[in-house]
Copies of this chain bind each other. A is one copy, B any other.
Amino acid sequence: MTEAADREPDALVRAVEATLFAADAPMTVKAISDHLGGADVRDALATLAGHYAGRGVELVERGERWHFQTAPDLAHLLRREREDVRRLSRAATEVLAIVAYHEPVSRAEIEAIRGVQTAKGTLDVLLEAGWVRVAGRREVPGRPVIYATTPDFLAHFGLASRRDLPGIDELRAAGLLEPVDEAMAAFDFDGKGDAPDAQDAGQAEAGD
């Protein structure tokens, strides 16, 4: 193929180019030829294939049919991933916090602690975010799925381990437990740890 041929495609080359471009399916040599009044289009196809070689679009023959396609190395352009930055909803944040503090927990336990039902989508969001994982099933009747946090969770929140989560005392000191610090103090004093929580959970569940 000469430079001149490349720069100034002849009428047949242009016709073949336009025909294949506009076609809604790959075409055989015969079909192209028929479309163009029986002209011999083989040379034109070779010229075109040469012209498009290395460009963003290529002329290729597959199963004796010719068509244009995006260059294989640019196929990633056809399917782009786009990241939409989205803030976790209030509900999802609560569920995440509960999983982090109480893991492993079942959905019923989460709901009991939150005191409200947890939409299926909320946990899905956390699973999608990669912060929560399914950690098996609890060996109780119904074998509920239990959830735990992931290393990604620790990484995202800059925690070395779950132990880095502030304890109840620290939450209280930060004023995050405002209306109930007295009661919290009481059960802390008892040294029973999570027990009251579990009890609460039971009550809340019953109330559901």
Whether a CB of chain B sits under 8 angstroms from the CB of A187 is no
Q: Are B9 and A80 in contact (CB under 8 A)?
A: no
Q: Which residues of B contact A3 (CB under 8 A)?
A: 3
Q: Which residues of B contact A68 (CB under 8 A)?
A: 21
Q: Are A22 and B77 in contact (CB under 8 A)?
A: yes
DSSP class of A's interface residues: helix, strand, loop or mixed? Answer: helix
Name the residue among A7, A19, A77 with the largest chain B CB count within 10 angstroms: A77
Residues 1-56 of A at the B interface (beta carbon under 8 Å): 3, 6-9, 13-19, 21-22, 35-36, 54-56
A52 to B: closest C-beta gap in Å: 10
A155 to B: closest C-beta gap in Å: 15
Q: Say yes or no: A78-B8 contact (C-beta < 8 A), given A15-B56, A56-B15, A56-B16.
A: no
Against B, the Cβ 8 Å flags (1 = close, 0 = not) of A49-71 are 00000111100000000001011
Q: Say yes or no: A56-B8 contact (C-beta < 8 A), given A21-B70, A36-B77, A77-B22.
A: no
A54→B18 CA distance, assembly (Å): 11
Could you show 26 A-B contacts with beta carbons less than 8 Å apart? A3-B3, A6-B6, A6-B7, A7-B54, A8-B54, A13-B56, A14-B55, A14-B71, A15-B56, A15-B74, A16-B56, A17-B57, A18-B70, A18-B74, A18-B77, A19-B77, A19-B78, A21-B56, A21-B57, A21-B68, A22-B70, A22-B77, A22-B78, A35-B77, A35-B80, A36-B77
- Please give the residue numbers on chain A whose beta carbons come within 8 Å of chain B beta carbons, in ascending order: 3, 6-9, 13-19, 21-22, 35-36, 54-57, 68, 70-71, 74, 77-78, 80
